C-alpha cells in the first residue's frame, strides 16, 4: 500500500483498484502472461489509435465523474475523443507558476519523490535501485549529476498530462531512448526494471538559476506517445514543453550538486518512502538548503 502526503502534511494510504490490478498482473504468473502482449509497442500504438476515435469519447464523462475532475478549469469541456480529453489544456492561470528566481517550480502535476544521487550514482524509486548511467545510457552525462538530486514525478491517469520548463534558459534537442512500455506504478518494480524498459526522452536545460537541468519524460503502459514538439532554443519558465498521450507516466528532473535543494517536507517524506502530491507550477525546491 502506497503512502501519499499533501503539502499540509496530511498522509493517506492509497490502495486503488488500479494498484491492486497491477500488483496482480506483475506479481502473479498468469498476470505476467497477460501483461506481455500489452507492453509491446504495436499494441500500445493500436490502443492509442482506438482512443483517438469519436467512439472513445463516450468514456470521458464516467471517468471525469469517478475521479472528480473539474472541467471548468479546461479551455474546453467537450471532447472529440478520449485522447482529446486526456491531452486537454487548462485555462491560463489554472496552474500558477512560482516565478521567483530562487524557487524551483514543479514541471507537472504528480506524486513526487526526491533522491540524492550518491557516490555510486544510484538512486531509489520505491525500493528499486537505479543508476543514473543506466537511466541515461550515457556514463559521462550521468557523472555531471553526482551529488545532485533526482526528482521523480509519477503521474496517474487522472492528472493533468502537460508539463512545463522549470526555468528560463536554453534547451538542447530532445534525445530519444527507445524501450518497451511498462507501467510506472511502483508495485511493478519487483518484477521489471521499469525505467530501463520504458521508452523515454530527455533534453538538457541550461537554466539561468539552477545550472544544467536534465528533463526526462518516461512513457508507460498504453502510452503510445511522448509529444515534445519543440527543438533546441531559448525557453521561458512556465512555457509548455510537451504532453503525454493516454496512460500513467513519469517526469524526471536531474539537478546538479549545490544548484537547488528540495523543500524540507518533500525531502522528509521521500526519506520515509512517502510520495508528495504536487501541482504543476508550485514550489518544490529552492537555491537555499
What is the per-residue pLDDT for 126?
38
Tens-place pLDDT, residues 28-42: 666 566 666 655 666
Q: Mean per-residue pLDDT for 198-208?
A: 92
pLDDT at 238 over 70: yes
**Closest to 195 in 3D by CA, of 154, 149, 239, 144:** 154
Q: Is the dihedral of CA 183, 186, 190, 195 positive or negative?
A: positive
What is the per-residue pLDDT for 125?
42
Question: What SS3 string covers the chain?
Answer: CEEEECCCCCEEEECCHHHHHHHHHHHCHHHHHHHHHHCCHHHHHHHHHHCCCHHHHHHHHHHHHHCCCCHHHECCCCCCCHHHHHCCCECCCCCCCCCCCCEEECCCCEEEEEEECCCCCEEEECCEEEEHHHHHCCHHHHHCCCCCEEEEEEECCCCCCEEECCCCEEECCCEEECCCCCCCCHHHCCCCCHHHHCCEEEEEEEECCCCEEEEEEECCCCCCCEECCCCCEEECCCCEEEEECCCCEEEEEEECCCCCEECHHHHHHHHCCEEEEECCCCEEEECCC
CA distance 273 to 270: 5
pLDDT at 128 over 50: no
What is the per-residue pLDDT for 127?
39
- The answer to whether 261 touches 284, Cβ cutoff 8 Å, is no
The average confidence (pLDDT) of the chain is 84
pLDDT at 215 over 90: yes
Predicted TM-score (pTM) of the model is 0.85
Tens-place pLDDT, residues 59-105: 999 989 988 899 999 999 999 999 899 899 999 999 999 999 999 99
What is the per-residue pLDDT for 177?
86
Catalytic residue among 109, 159, 167, 263: 109
Known catalytic residue at 265: no
**Torsions phi, psi of 154, nearest 5?**
-95, 115
Tens-place pLDDT, residues 135-194: 898 999 999 999 999 999 988 888 999 999 999 999 999 999 886 555 556 656 555 555
CA distance 246 to 87: 8
Q: What is the largest CA-CA distance in the chain?
A: 52
- Where do the domains of the chain lie? 15-86, 103-286
- The answer to whether 122 touches 89, Cβ cutoff 8 Å, is no
Catalytic residue among 249, 259, 270, 286: 249
What is the per-residue pLDDT for 148?
96
| C-alpha cell, 289 | 538548503
Which carries the bigger pLDDT value, residue 128 or residue 192?
192
Give the best-scoring range by mean pLDDT among 105-109, 116-120, 174-178: 105-109
Known catalytic residue at 159: no
Amino acid at each position: 500500500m502506497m503512502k501519499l502526503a499533501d503539502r499540509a502534511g496530511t498522509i493517506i494510504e492509497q490502495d486503488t483498484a488500479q494498484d491492486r490490478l497491477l500488483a496482480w498482473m506483475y506479481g502473479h504468473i498468469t498476470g505476467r502472461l497477460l501483461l506481455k502482449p500489452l507492453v509491446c509497442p504495436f499494441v500500445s500504438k493500436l490502443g492509442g489509435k482506438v482512443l483517438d476515435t469519436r467512439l472513445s469519447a463516450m468514456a470521458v464523462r464516467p471517468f471525469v465523474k469517478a475521479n472528480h475532475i473539474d472541467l471548468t478549469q479546461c479551455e474546453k469541456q467537450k471532447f472529440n475523443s478520449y485522447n482529446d480529453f486526456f491531452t486537454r489544456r487548462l485555462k491560463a492561470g489554472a496552474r500558477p507558476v512560482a516565478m521567483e528566481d530562487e524557487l524551483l517550480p514543479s514541471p507537472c502535476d504528480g506524486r513526487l519523490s526526491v533522491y540524492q544521487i550518491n557516490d555510486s550514482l544510484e538512486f531509489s524509486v520505491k525500493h528499486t535501485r537505479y543508476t543514473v548511467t543506466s537511466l541515461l545510457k550515457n556514463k559521462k552525462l550521468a557523472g555531471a549529476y553526482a551529488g545532485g538530486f533526482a526528482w521523480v514525478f509519477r503521474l496517474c491517469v487522472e492528472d493533468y498530462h502537460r508539463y512545463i520548463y522549470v526555468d528560463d534558459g536554453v534547451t538542447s534537442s530532445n534525445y530519444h531512448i527507445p524501450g518497451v512500455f511498462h507501467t510506472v506504478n511502483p508495485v511493478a518494480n519487483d518484477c521489471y526494471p521499469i525505467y530501463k524498459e520504458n521508452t523515454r526522452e530527455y533534453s538538457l536545460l541550461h537554466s539561468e538559476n539552477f545550472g544544467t537541468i536534465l528533463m526526462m519524460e518516461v512513457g508507460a503502459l498504453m502510452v503510445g506517445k511522448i509529444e515534445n514538439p519543440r527543438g533546441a532554443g531559448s525557453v521561458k519558465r512556465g512555457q509548455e514543453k510537451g504532453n503525454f498521450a493516454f496512460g500513467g507516466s513519469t517526469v524526471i528532473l536531474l539537478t546538479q550538486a549545490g544548484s537547488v535543494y528540495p523543500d524540507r517536507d518533500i525531502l522528509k517524506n521521500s526519506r520515509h518512502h512517502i510520495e508528495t502530491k504536487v501541482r504543476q507550477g508550485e514550489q518544490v525546491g529552492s537555491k537555499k538548503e
